[in-house]
Amino acid sequence: MNEKELLEQGYREYSGEKIDVFFKREICEHAAECVKGNGEVFDVERRPWIMADAADADEVAAIIDRCPSKALKYIKK
């Protein structure tokens, strides 16, 4: 899916230099794979709660691949 399609589906974009992260709150199952994966990138106490550049893009992608609900998606640049 491209950026436009994700935004049309209700995902919100968190841009980074090497990777853009997308999140759709409505389908998040709160499994916390993201937060457990890297608390610097994913921090629910912070705004914005996702900082795509806080870790290596490959690591961010690997964590997002473990999101069980597909509430998180990414596009590498």
Contact of 10 with 26, CB cutoff 8 Å: yes
Rule CB under 6 A: is residue 62 a binding residue for ligand SF4? Answer: no
Q: How far is the CB of 36 from ligand SF4 (least distance, A)?
A: 8
Tell me the CA distances in angstroms from 2 to 5, 43, 64, 66, one per residue in order.
5, 25, 16, 20
- Return d(Cα 59, Cα 28) in angstroms, integer: 20
Number of residues that bind ligand SF4 (CB under 6 A): 12
Q: In this chain, which stretch among 3-11, 14-22, 32-40, 50-58 interacts with ligand SF4, using CB under 6 A?
A: 32-40
Q: Which residues sit at the interface with ligand SF4, rule CB under 6 A?
A: 28-34, 67-69, 71-72
